[in-house]
Structures are given as C-alpha cells and as structure tokens.
Structure 1
Amino acid sequence: MAVSRSRTAVYARRRKRRMAQHTHDLSDEQWAALAAEWQGCAYCGASDRPLQRDCVQPISRGGRYTLANVVPACGSCNASKSNDEVTSWLRRKQLDERAFLLRHREIGVALALRFPAPDAASD
C-alpha cells in the first residue's frame, strides 16, 4: 500500500508520533470539571459554542493532555491559536492576557486539590 505524501498526511503522522511519545492523562471527569469551571471558552469567553480541548503548551512544543495544560476553547480560538505560544497569541488577538493567566492559575489550583496527582496521593 502506498503512503500518502500530502502535507496533511505528513503532519498527521508527525502528530501521531508526538502523541505516542507522552502519557496523556486527562480523564473525562477532569475535562468535565475544567469545562464547568471555565464556563465557556478560556480565551474569548464564548459560552454558546461547542468547546474543544486546547493545550496551553501545544503538543508540537512538548505539551500534553493533562489537567494543568488543557483549557476549553471554542473552535475559532483553537484553530486561530494553532501551535502558537499562548501569551503571544493572546497579545496578537488583543485578548486579556493577565486575566487568562490568573484564571488559569486559580482553576488549576482548585482542580489540583480536587484531582490530586497519582504521585502526590501516595505520599
């Protein structure tokens, strides 16, 4: 069988390899709690659209799907951010960088207490 050499297929294979290199441990329960805490898109605040899982630190830059690295994002923000660094993307879009970072931290601390890391539970 011939391997597709289209740009899309090449990028899909690269992403699949990157995804396989790391453990992604975001459970469905954690995702539901994240979405409930944010009450909409973490970036623009839209609550009338379906939300997608967006990695604050993109997978292409070493991020992974974990409670501390994922935020809910509307499709528009998720596609626009792509694999950009979140703070520079927020500035370019003229969104409130400080408000996002503070809210991300607050929610992260609250959910870390609710869902302790497996290593911390054994201490």
Structure 2
Amino acid sequence: MKKCNICNKVKSYSEFYKKKAKSVKKGEYIYYFPYCKNCTKYKSAKWQKDNPNKRKESLHKYNVSEKGRQHFYTYGKEYRKNGQYKAWQMKNKDKIKEYRKKRTENKKHEITDVEWENCLKYFKYKCAYCGISQNDSVKIYNQSLHKEHVIHDGENDLSNNVPACKSCNSSKWKHELDDWYASDNLNFSLERYEKILTWINIDYLEFIINPIRKED
C-alpha cells in the first residue's frame, strides 16, 4: 500500500504509475510516483489548462523527435488498419462533408507545376512558417508540404502562395498572418516572416507565369 501525496489516501500500488529506475545503492528497482493515477490525471489536466503555450511547445518538441515521429506513424497505421478510421467515416458523413466544404472555400490554387516547384525552391523545400523540411513533413504527417494562401481570401496565384506543413496549414486557417504567426505559432521566426513578405510582395514576380488579377 502507498499514500498519495495529494489526496492523502492510502491505496494499492496498482493505483500508482510506475517506472523502472536504477541507482548506485539500490541497483535496478521499480519506482512508484508519489501521486495516485486519479490525482496525476487531475494535476496534468490542470497544468495543461494553466500553461497552454508550454503545452504546445512540449507537444511540438515531441512531434518532431524521433520517438514522436514513430508514434505518429505507428498509431496512424494501426488506426487505419483496424478499421477505426473507416468506421468513424461511416458514422460522420455529414461532418466530413462540412469539413471538405470549408476546406475548399478560398482554397483554389491556380498555379502551374513549374510555379509550385519554384516556390518550393525559394523556401528551400521547407514550411514557410515553421521551417520543417519536406522530408520531415512526410515522416511526421505522412503528407508533403501544402500550397497555402497567406491571405485567406486573397489571390489564388503565386503572389499569395507559400509551402506549409499540415500543422501550420491547419492552425493558420483563415487567420491574418500578423495576428496568427507571432501569437499562435511557437516557431515564430522574424527571418522567415520577412522572407514570406518579400516573396508575396516582390520576389514572386520573378517566377509567376500568368498573373491573375482581380477586376478593378
């Protein structure tokens, strides 16, 4: 039996999380955490609520780590393999339809393959927002970099297009760049921010083939 340091109740060892530990005096042994499982969950939930930015930062570090990549790949593969994803799709057709409708709003990219390739080269095959590479994007999200509208309801040509990873593409959505990038994106970089502005205001002109202009 063991006493929880939070609720002060004496509970069975099975009610506590444990891990293998090692020390010079004890050698290898089983270490039981000082809080019971229920209190640990409550403590964790409270910390996440009180520290949203630190939680996001911690999640990002895990996602880009080798362990995180492997977990993301394995979990996604098993989720699809055991039929859970298919079952969810069948039960949520209306949600999927609504989601796809929202995703297609202001999301048409009228650029050529050559223009897209030049855009990727300009940003060195990295997400314009967080800097994750094309290869890492495939490893982590099982997707290549997306064509992203910098201005949500702006032009559909190269002047408003940058490469973005799945995470940044979803997070930014229709938010204004200035409001979103500094506040919500944990990988804010002044250098990348200035490069995005230079691209959509000046440098895209060197690579655009058939500019699409709105009627005056």
**Could you tell me the TM-score, scaled by structure 1's length?**
0.69
Of all paired residues, the percent bearing the same amino acid is: 26
Q: 1:87 matched to which residue of 2? A: 178
CA contact 1:87–1:97 (8 Å) conserved in 2: no
Q: Partner amino acid for 1:26?
A: I
> Are 1:106 and 2:192 counterparts?
no
Once the two structures are TM-superposed, the CA of residue 106 in structure 1 deviates from its matched residue by 3.2
Structure 2 distance, partners of 1:15, 1:44, is 21
Equivalent residue number for residue 28 of structure 1: 113
Q: Which runs of 5+ in 2 are unaligned?
A: 1-91, 138-143
1:68 partner SS: helix
State the alpha-carbon separation in 2 of the partners of residues 91 and 107 from structure 1. Answer: 19
Give the whole-Å Cα distance in 1 for the aligned partners of 2:96 and 2:155: 21
Query: Which residue of structure 2 aligns with residue 63 of structure 1?
Result: 154
How far, CA to CA, are the matches of 1:51 and 1:24 in structure 2?
14
Q: Which has the higher strand share?
A: 2
Offset of 1:64 from its aligned partner? 3.9
Equivalent of 2:131 in 30, 33, 45:
45
| Structure 2 counterpart of 1:6 | 94
| Matching residue's letter, 1:12 | R
User: How far apart are residue 89 of structure 1 and its match?
Assistant: 0.9
Query: How far apart in 1 are the matches of 2:164 and 2:117?
Result: 13
Question: Is 1:52–1:75's contact at 8 Å kept on the other side of the alignment?
Answer: yes
Superposition TM-score, scaled by structure 2 size = 0.43
Q: Which has the higher contact order (CA 8 A, sep 6+)?
A: 1
RMSD across aligned positions (CA)? 3.0
Q: How far is 1:87 from its partner? A: 1.3
2:34 corresponds to: none
User: Cα gap change, 1:117/1:98 in structure 2, threshold over 3 Å: closer, same or farther?
Assistant: farther
SS of 2:159's partner is: coil
With 107-116 and 6-15 compared, the bigger mean Cα shift is at: 6-15
Structure 2: which amino acid aligns with 1:79?
Answer: S
Structure with greater Cα Rg? 2
Partner secondary structure for residue 71 of structure 1: strand
Separation in 1, partners of 2:110, 2:131:
25
- Return the alpha-carbon distance in structure 2 between the equivalents of residues 13 and 7 of structure 1: 10
Q: Which amino acid aligns with 1:36?
A: K
